[in-house]
Amino acid sequence: MTVTVPGPTLGVVGGGQLGRMLAEAAAPLGVEVVVLDPTPDCPAAPVARDHVVGDFDDPEAFRELAARTDALTFEIELADSDLLDEVADEYGLTVNPAPETLSLIEDKLVQKEALADAGVPVPPFRRVDDADDLRDALDEFGAVMLKARTGGYDGRGNVPVRDESEVEEALDAVGGPAMAEAFVDFARELSVIAVQGDGEVRTFPVGENVHEAEILRETVVPARTTDAVRARADEVARDVLSVLDGRGVFGVELFETPDGDVSVNEIAPRPHNSGHWTIEGARTSQFEQHVRAVLGWPLGSTARRAPTAMANVLGTVEETRPATLGNVESVLAAEEASLHWYGKDDVRPLRKMGHLTLTGADGAADDEADVDGLLARARDLRDGLTFD
């Protein structure tokens, strides 16, 4: 392939923080980005070339996006996969990852069935259509995590169920078709940001994720585990890509058990929160990689620059209010820190408002003390930020 700049215009369905960071990464490559999002002042709007206001299943909005761009992708699983396929065909555009992959991943039950059929390790699971199904799952697995099959993210749509007294309330909370997954006694949660290009696959170093209330709080790289577990996590992530069609970045979330086994939790067919560390911590960020991949361009290096810790800045308020972040000077004064603000107008409880990254020295050792120190410092700086 011959690449020239200025390059093509990329259409992105979704204009949240991922769309914002995609547009920021595309600009130095000479690629302009047009986003489609229902929110008039979405986070990506200030940095994208333009913004089509429309719902994620609006045929006319999709056609307007397609008419103004040279290739299509998405940064949110709520994008209508059938409509993406239809519009791409109508306008003669490529859409990556493939709409079929989006269809597979957006239904957690279909996703797990496809992975299991391909021999990819996953926790035991079963379909849940009613209370009897959930009771059967409890009998088979013991405690389970009840997951909405579609629409859940950032812990929404996930409800732990430990005994039969919680069955009805859990089903009401999920509010639709679901699956039950056996609780995994994991030692840590891992993730691999994997990239599928035009005939090539690359993976970033394995990250370790810290969740609380099902929401990602921090990621550290390298993961504080053994070389053997890191190698196995990378192998499993590559096996996952063999199940998925189309080019792009995929976030593969994994469980590591106390005996070193690795299994897949969930997959995101797009850049992922646990890969934000790559902006400062890797040779090429996950966002630049996604732009390169979906356009069919050569992929960049996934090598890590230095040990890195990323901490999410979440809404600490009790009710929705206009968003103003305070004590920012403490982060700016830390020479090893970088701040990313997502430009959301309102802050609400636990909403992702931004993130900060701390990097160690180039060539620093991978021992846990380096990562532990970076993580502690990242938490201190993050916790010093306020929305008062």
Contacts of 105 (CB under 8 A, 6+ apart): 77, 111, 244, 267, 268, 269
Please give the order of strands across the beta sheet that includes 125-128. 125-128, 178-182, 144-148, 158-161
Contacts of 243 (CB under 8 A, 6+ apart): 104, 114, 115, 118, 120
Q: In a 3-state reduction of DSSP, which class is residue 301?
A: coil
d(CA 351, CA 346): 9
Would you say 45 is a known binding-site residue? no
183 is in an annotated binding site: yes
287 is in an annotated binding site: no
189 is in an annotated binding site: yes
Determine whether the annotation assigns residue 182 to a binding site.
yes
Please indicate if the annotation marks 184 as binding a ligand: yes
Q: Which amino acid is at 259?
A: D
87 annotated among ligand-binding-site residues: no
266 is known to lie in a ligand binding site: yes
On whether the CB atoms of residues 2 and 297 are closer than 8 A, the answer is no
Closest by alpha carbon to 15, among 58, 64, 76, 60?
76
Nearest C-alpha neighbor of 38 from the set 52, 50, 49: 52
Q: Annotated binding site, which residues?
A: 108, 147, 181-184, 189, 211, 265-266
Q: Annotated binding site for ATP, which residues?
A: 108, 147, 181-184, 189, 211, 265-266
